Amino acid sequence: MIFDIQRFSTHDGPGIRTVVFFKGCPLACAWCENPESQSPRPELLYTKAQCIGCHSCLQADNGGAVQSDPGGGILVDRSVEPPASLESVCPARALRIAGREASVAEILAEVRKDLSFFATSGGGLTLSGGEPLAQIDLAEELLGAAAAEGLDIAIETCLAVGRKAVERVADLPLHWLADLKHVEPEAFRRGTGGEVELTLGNLRYLAERGVDLSLRVPVVPGFNDDEASMRGILEFAAALPRPALPRPAAAGPVGGTGPAGGTGSVAGRHLDLLPYHDLAAGKYAALGREYPYPLGLRLEAGFVETCAELGRSLGLDISLGG
């Protein structure tokens, strides 16, 4: 079950990427940028402002998912799974269905359209969501098939899954882009509905294996935008085992160099600080859900930059905004 395939992405791994968004997530983060990704079933998004009142959707086979609204527009019955054909009957695109089944062959056929862009930019395929590892059979098969074709592969994950799912893809040549939202159990539970030790344990496991692991920290008002929370997050990240860089070749006789001496300096763990924004508020409305934050809410000026300096002082390679 996926809900989108996005081409020409530049913030989901190196180079130009094609991102496949898996539907369904074990967490329910209040600030989620893709709220349509949380449920594992297809959902109907209705943007009332785009509705032109043609009632094409009422005249089509809608399976009972939409009904006439006496006040204009339509009413959506969200207890009913919308038929896939419903999206295509709306000329104004006020209706959109998030969620469809897709095979590995179908997905790869779409990804291959961008092979020339991958070749020139060092890009490739990224799995995102939702949580790709929650559909581990599809994720493993798709990543394995892409790697077998020589594609660069990456995964964006909250790692709130059982260890066995992580182990099944840990040997693949993956770029891991993993969330590190909090390290305090109760705060994590309140904000996401999940258990933080599951995520932290998987992060330690991946770091110990020496995989290509970058961390992503969403900085969210009222969740982790305080000094104690961010210090805990950054100190946890800094304490993870880091990949070793080859030691530069030692100087040898004139006209040559001596042998490299094993491993030398340790690479700084890369970490992105992602400042909160409310660009997803319209999606919540389209899903019939109330957005949990006041519109226009912003982080305290300079807070993210202060966190970045703290991270760098701990030896982390910090960037802002991904």
What is the domain extent for residue 164?
A: 2-40+100-320
Structure token pair of residue 227 = 């000094």
Instruction: Please tell me whether residues 125 and 228 are part of one structural domain.
Output: yes
Same domain, residue pair 104 and 94: no
| Residues 309, 283 share a domain | yes
The per-residue pLDDT for range 2-15, each reduced to its tens digit, is: 999 999 999 999 99
Indicate whether 132 and 73 sit together in one domain.
Answer: no
63-96 per-residue burial string, b: 16 or more CB within 10 A, e: under 16: eebbeeeeeebbebeeeeebbeebbebbeeebbb
Q: Give the pLDDT mean for 248-276.
A: 58
The confidence band for 266, taking pLDDT boundaries of 50, 70 and 90, is low
Local confidence band at 244 (pLDDT 50, 70, 90 cut-offs): low
Alpha carbon distance 166, 203 (integer Å):
10
Q: How many residues does the chain have?
A: 322
Express each pLDDT in 14-36 by its tens digit: 999 999 999 999 999 999 999 99
How many alpha carbons fall within 13 Å on the CB side of residue 35? 19
Q: Please tell me whether residues 77 and 180 are part of one structural domain.
A: no
Residue 80 shares a structural domain with residue 108: no
DSSP notation for 243-259:
PEEEPPPPB-STTSB--
Better pLDDT: 252 or 84: 84
Contacts of 144 (CB under 8 A, 6+ apart): 172
Report the alpha-carbon distance of residue 245 to residue 214 in Å, rounded.
16
Q: Is the pLDDT of residue 179 over 90?
A: yes
Same structural domain, 185 and 74 = no
pLDDT in tens, 87-125: 999 999 999 999 999 999 999 999 999 999 999 999 999
User: Which runs of E-coded beta strand occur in the chain?
Assistant: 2-9, 17-22, 43-46, 66-68, 74-76, 95-98, 124-128, 152-157, 174-179, 212-219, 244-246, 263-266, 270-275, 317-320
Put residue 99 in one of left, alpha, beta given phi > 0 → left and psi -120 to 50 → alpha: left
Residues 206 and 253 in one domain: yes
pLDDT at 245: 55
Q: Give the pTM.
A: 0.90
- CATH number for the domain spanning 159: value is 3.20.20.70
Tokens of 165: 């799912």
Give residues with Cβ within 8 angstroms of 33, minimum separation 6: 279, 280
Calculate the average pLDDT of the chain: 92
What pLDDT score was predicted for residue 313? 97
Q: Are 93 and 108 contained in the same domain?
A: no
Contact 130, 138 (CB under 8 A): no
Distance CA 90, CA 59 (A): 11
Place of tokens 């291959």: 112
Identify the CA nearest to 259 among candidates 247, 269, 245, 276: 247
pLDDT of residue 73: 81
Structure tokens at 185: 């159990």
What's residue 70's pLDDT? 85
Q: Are residues 219 and 92 in the same domain?
A: no
60 in Cβ contact with 89 (< 8 Å): yes
